[in-house]
Amino acid sequence: MNVAVDLAPVVALVGNPNCGKTALYNALTGSRQKVANYPGVTVEKKMGRLSTPAGRPAEVVDLPGTYSLRARSPDEEITRDVVLGKLATERAPDLIVCVADASNLRLALRLALELKQVGRPVLMSLNMMDIAKKRGVEIDMGVLARELGLPVVSSVAVRRGGTDALLAALDKQLDALPAAGAASWRAPDATGLRNAQREADRVLRAAVRNPGHLDPTTARVDKLLLHPAAGLVILLAILFVMFQAVFAWAKPLMNLISDGFTWLGALVGSAPLPEIVRSFLKDGVIAGVGSVIVFLPQIVILFFFILVLEDLGYMARAAFLMDRIMGGAGLHGRAFIPLLSSFACAIPGIMATRVIDDRRDRLTTILVAPLMTCSARIPVYTLIISAFIPDREVWGFVGLQGLVMFGLYAAGITAALAVSFVAKRLFWRTSAGEPFMLEMPDYKIPQLKSLVFGVAQRASAFLRRAGTTILSMMILIWALASFPQAPEGATDPAIDYSFAAKIGHAIGPITQPLGFNWQINVALIPGMAAREVAVGALGTLYAVDGGEEATEKIGQILKGQWPLATALALLAWYVFAPQCASTLAVIRRETGGWGWMAVTFVYMLGLAYIAALLTNQIARAAGAG
């Protein structure tokens, strides 16, 4: 016995994408899970605890889905390194469970043969056995085990008791673990892969009858959903419903959260504390965190939709339908989901780029994601549009205000496509681009439990970030807007005396061609915390009292103070400007360095300046000055 005797053995779950591995992981570990990141990379590390029927504890690791240990993406590299015990921070697995979709065994068998070569104990678990049976797939488990040379059990992750056989097998395996040796595995060449697949096909023929039929439901549904024209129309309809939900359903909850933080702020504001402490708590901490947490309902609803579509098997279809359209702009079909999410908020969008295998495709997507009109721009757009754009109809039925809003969205999308087109040629013209190759899984009914798990994980990841990176950004920005403090007997708003005001005045000559006055310059600084904070800052600068109708009041005042050209230029600025410290922080984290964050910041700032400059100058020339 060695010193590691009190450490529970590590069981690694490995399998193809869509094999139901995560559902199995959830079934095995229940709520005894924790999510973290592997050091240095952004791949989620999912670990949980289970105890076997005999009372033996084990650590279960859910590894990213893969077809081979020959890794093609950061996610798959993690799978390889963990399986091979190459990560210094992770314990090598004592047992590998190769999870396979029982109705789609062919590629899984090849993976199992590859895992066998690693030299650690491997147990094969045929998951979704119920679906396979229903589909007429007949598997002789004894023959399969004999031909593969591995123990084989079946499991139904989503059913009570569906993991009993697997747990019993784990007990047996963990009882007789061989001493851990060095893992041996060499990346197979084409010949090796070919031979392995032939061997897998031989095993399949020997052990499985009737493996190859296309699921009739999937075939029927795909006739419609993958129809070249109708499929696209349905995709757009799904997106429409999704956005409607993200905006409309989230609204009451967002109001509730924002009211809650306002109340909390007021409570602290009236507490018997020194003025500067009160301001720090109220305007720095509470307002800062509140302005981020207010997006939680949108993030929850968005991820709910994404996970439902993902679990249904529709995401692969969406990527299929969009591939050519996205490909024209140099984007990968899979970039579609992240970019879509970025309409709610670029932060989950950038996080969702993890589904893109190729690093360059992923970077391009991250680069353009902040150009998608996120929901934080809406308060600013709404303020300016309702104040400056007349509420009338054009062409008899289209509201002019709505049309301008649509134009701002369209400008963001067009810019994103154009930037990715340029980036592709500028940064990596050597490659024709990562090929689009992915499996289209059969449609499956999503399981409520796994949806709840998934949404809860995303929500807590978002909240953790709000509590760390974003909070520190907020405090920095609050400090800029609060120090130095106003002198005794000052008549102007306190922010006029701050560093923010000094910066605002200092950059006056630079923004003057855009038609921005110093109040706008100053408002843009707290606006770096979150775009919509600029609205409140403008309110402060023009000395508007807060309250229910504050936004409307600010609009009225702005209308009296700004020429139309300035308002339009500010709209153009907001389409492009990197006005969100949290997004930049997430880019830094996801790309693993300051370089790409700097590239994003500089190019967006450049575009914003040019767009605002052109808008202001053209509008003035047209008499809107």
Task: Pick one of 243, 249, 436, 499: the residue that binds another protein (CB under 8 A).
Answer: 436
Nearer to another protein, 409 or 436 (CB): 436
The span of 123-131, 252-260, 277-285, 429-437 binding another protein (CB under 8 A) equals: 429-437
Per CB under 8 A, does 201 bind another protein?
yes
C-beta closer to another protein: residue 7 or 187? 187
Nearer to another protein by Cβ, of 104 and 566: the residue is 104
Q: Provide the 3-class DSSP secondary structure of residue 482.
A: helix
Q: What is the CA radius of gyration of the chain?
A: 28
Which residues, other chains included, contact 169 with Cβ-Cβ below 8 Å and sequence gap of 6+?
A: 123, 125, 151, 153
Q: Tokens 């591939």 — which residue?
A: 323
Quick check: 106 binds another protein (CB under 8 A)?
yes
The letter for the amino acid at 212 is G
Q: Which stretch binds another protein (CB under 8 A): 210-218, 296-304, 410-418, 612-620?
A: 210-218
Minimum distance from residue 249 beta carbon to another protein (Å) = 31
128 touches another protein (CB under 8 A): no
Task: Confirm or reject binding of residue 238 to another protein (CB under 8 A).
Answer: no
Give the footprint of another protein on residues 380-409 (CB under 8 A). Answer: none
Identify the three-state secondary structure at position 56.
Answer: coil
The answer to whether the CB of 342 falls within 8 A of the CB of 370 is yes
* # binding residues, another protein (CB under 8 A): 47
What is the C-alpha to C-alpha distance for residues 295 and 303, in angstroms, rounded to an integer?
A: 12
Helix (H, G, I), strand (E, B) or coil at 63: coil
In the complex, what is the shortest distance from the CB of residue 535 to another protein, in angstroms, rounded to a whole number?
41
List the one residue from 90, 222, 311, 496 that touches another protein (CB under 8 A): 222
Site string for another protein, 316-345 (x = CB under 8 A): x--xxx-xxx-x-----x------------
> What is the nearest approach in angstroms of another protein to the Cβ of residue 360?
11
Output the six-digit token pair for 177: 């673990």
Q: Is 216 in the site for another protein (CB under 8 A)?
A: no
Among 340, 402, 400, 398, residue whose Cα is nearest residue 365: 340
Which lies closer to another protein via its Cβ, residue 34 or residue 205?
A: 205
Cβ–Cβ < 8 Å for 61, 82: yes
Residue 72 near another protein by CB under 8 A:
yes
Instruction: Give the residue with the Cβ less far from another protein, 137 or 166.
Output: 137
Which residue lies nearer to another protein by CB, 194 or 505? 194
CA angle at 157 for the pair 156 and 159, rounded to the nearest 5°: 70
Region binding another protein by CB under 8 A among candidate stretches 34-42, 192-200, 336-344, 581-589 = 192-200
Is residue 190 close enough to count as binding another protein by CB under 8 A? yes
Q: How far, in Å, CA of 90 to CA of 80, rounded?
A: 12
Q: Residue 537: which residues within 8 A CB-CB, separation 6 or more?
A: 481, 495, 522, 523, 525, 526, 527
Give the amino acid at 510: I
For residue 83 the two structure tokens come to: 């399986």
Instruction: Give 105's contacts (C-beta < 8 A, 6+ positions apart).
Output: 126, 139, 204, 208, 211
Q: Which of 526, 536, 530 has the alpha carbon at shortest distance from 500?
A: 526
Q: Which stretch binds another protein (CB under 8 A): 149-157, 224-232, 481-489, 568-576?
A: 224-232
Q: How far is the CB of 319 from another protein (least distance, A)?
A: 8
Q: Name the one residue in this structure whose structure tokens are 């897998």.
A: 200
Which residue, 219 or 602, is less far from another protein as judged by CB? 219
71: tokens are 């890794």
Closest approach of Cβ 324 to another protein, in Å? 4
Q: What angle (nearest 5°) sits at the alpha carbon of residue 41, between those of residues 36 and 44? A: 35
Among 4, 177, 214, 622, indicate the residue that binds another protein (CB under 8 A): 214
* Pairing mode of beta strands 33-37, 138-139: unpaired
Phi then psi for residue 96, to 5 deg, are: -105, 125
Residue 140 binds another protein (CB under 8 A): no
Member of 36, 182, 229, 448 binding another protein (CB under 8 A): 229
Residue selected from 33, 42, 197, 447 as contacting another protein according to rule CB under 8 A: 197
**Binding of residue 67 to another protein (CB under 8 A):** yes
* Eight-state DSSP code of residue 73: S
Chosen residue from 34, 202, 213, 251 binding another protein by CB under 8 A = 213
Six token digits for residue 304? 């709910």
Binding residues (CB under 8 A) for another protein: these are: 67-68, 70, 72, 103-107, 110, 188-190, 193-194, 197-198, 201, 211-214, 222, 226, 228-229, 232, 316, 319-321, 323-325, 327, 333, 431-441
